[in-house]
Amino acid sequence: MDFYDKAGTEPIGDATRTHFSNQITSELDGKEVILMGWTHILRDKGKIKFLVLRDEHGTVQVTIPQKKVPEEVFETSGKLKPETAISVHGTVVATTQVAAGAEVIPTKIRILNTAERLPIDVVEGKVDIDLDTRFNHRILDLRKPSINAIFRIQHNLVRFSRDYLENNDFVEIHTPKLVAEATEGGANLFEVQYFERKAYLAQSPQFYKQLMLLAGFGRVFEIAPVFRAEKHNTRRHINEYTSFDFEMAWISGVEDVMKMEEQMLHYAFTKTKEASSAEFELLGIDLTIPKLPFKRVKYAEAIDLVNEAGKDLSITDDLDPESERLLEKIFPEKFGTDMVFITHYPLELRPAYTMPSLTDEGMTESFDLTYKGMEITTGGQRIHIYDLLVERFKAKGFNPPNFSFYLDPFKYGAPPHGGIGLGVERLTMQLLGIDNIREATLLPRDRDRLTP
Ligand code: AMO
């Protein structure tokens, strides 16, 4: 049987990877290495073939001169197709011909698995393809180094944010995603059949993260999917996103919550810039780390600013996408930063659990964090006084007995507390200057998409 036909059927015990592509440098000149990855680019010049092997950390050139390699190796290399899974045993040779300063001359090329004709290119910039086609073939799409890099950076942002919280006495929790009631209002709930009853997919861990503080955890966080039945396709909404939530008890006010978030993000940005330097370089991004403390602006002032720029909003209007675009320009011009807390939202615009403001009549002890004009976080102090909480639920038109599982524990010495919900995809898209949130989502769910 031909070697190519047998590909992937033999045990590969002798083929343990020794190096990643980005470790092949001139210092390894003369060393034997084993690489594993995909055939990224193939150039056949007759008596010499060039193979660019791509793995998790980049690419490396494998040069295959007919005269210098075993006949079988030369023959196998002629059979390689784009995205064939291979291992390459070879010798590192220092050379000024390639940017990395070294290439590999193979002594053995092994086909670990074959690849059919590709529906989309994995080599970047070959053809411009539309988003929908890319998402239909998302697994291949993600193999492109610049797409893969987005999620490596996202990983580090989440990892270092988690790190920061763990170092500050937060406990990671896992709360139910099948729930009985809305937390953020009923407009965008997904209903599911739960045996004989109706249930919903959680819009937020809001009630449970608060309840865990009442259960004796001083500080908690959760990083998990939440579901929003947004009917419209927009560039910043998806129907399932990753919510990064934290909640902290014994606060003296909302300022404590904002301080925790800005310090967490400052830490995460600083550490990610360092840990993901190769990915940032690949994407051509020089990350600016916002200075501490982040700017604070009251909602009333933000409304004035967009109105001065031509809008006609009242204090109880939401900041629409056009206003966000305006603020994206106004904030850096006026305050020299693109990371701004908007505080003191009116009661009308905030959920029932939000603490009314003691200083600003009709307003709340809550905030949004905007990054390059877009809301990436909502947070605030919560009501911990039972009577006030029930009153606010009624004022919002809810029937308190439906929420007794949430409300009742507030009768027993609930500590003052507050927290945030941060959209991981929104943070990623703003940080990387990505226009559509779907591109900052591994496998997006929107009105039209449930696969892959
Ligand atoms: P909110 O509903 O504002 O607040 O959501 C918090 C953050 O989640 C992100 N986000 C979204 N991301 C992608 N697609 C969507 N459809 C979407 N909706 C929201 C945004 C937003 O700032 N319980 C409160 C949080 C809290 O107060 O702790 C809440 O869920 O980045």
* DSSP per-residue letters across 107-140: EEEEEEE-----SS-SSTTSS---HHHHHHTHHH
Ligand 1 atom 21, closest CA? 377
Segments making up each domain of the chain, as ranges: 2-113, 140-440
The answer to which of 2-16, 154-168, 299-313, 328-342 has the lowest mean pLDDT is 2-16
In this predicted structure, the answer to whether residue 270 has a pLDDT above a threshold of 50 is: yes
Evaluate whether 2-113 and 140-440 have a shared fold.
Answer: no
> Residue 141 C-alpha to ligand 1 middle, in angstroms?
27
Structure tokens at 278: 């190769």
Average pLDDT score over residue span 365-382: 97
Strands in 279-389 per DSSP E: 295-298, 339-343, 366-371, 374-381
52 DSSP 8-state letter: E
Average pLDDT score over residue span 34-54: 96
Average pLDDT score over residue span 118-131: 86
Average pLDDT score over residue span 331-346: 97
Query: 2-113 has which CATH code?
Result: 2.40.50.140
- pLDDT digits 0-9 by tens, 317-326: 999 999 999 9
Cβ count within 10 A of residue 231: 9
Q: Are 363 and 355 in contact (CB under 8 A)?
A: no
222 DSSP 8-state letter: E
CA–CA–CA angle 416, 422, 424 (5° rounding): 155
> Residue 223 C-alpha to ligand 1 middle, in angstroms?
13
Q: Which atom of ligand 1 is nearest to the CA of 423?
A: 31
Structure tokens at 204: 């937020």
> Residue 207 C-alpha to ligand 1 middle, in angstroms?
14
> Residue 412 C-alpha to ligand 1 middle, in angstroms?
29
Query: 140-440 has which CATH code?
Result: 3.30.930.10
Helix (H, G, I), strand (E, B) or coil at 350: coil
Amino acid making up residue 183: T
Average pLDDT score over residue span 208-233: 96
State which of 206, 368, 377 you would mutate to test the pocket of ligand 1, scoring each by most atoms of that ligand within 8 A of its C-beta. Answer: 377
Closest Cα partner for 313 from 349, 285, 277, 339?
349
Residues with CB under 6 A from ligand 1: 184, 204, 206, 228, 230, 237-238, 241, 243, 245, 375-380, 419-421, 423, 425-426, 437
Q: Which residues contact 293 (CB under 8 A, 6 or more apart)?
A: 259, 262
Whole-prediction pTM: 0.95
pLDDT value, residue 243: 98
Closest Cα partner for 118 from 127, 105, 107, 106?
127
Amino acid making up residue 263: Q
The per-residue DSSP string of 237-257 comes to --SEEEEEEEEEES-SSHHHH
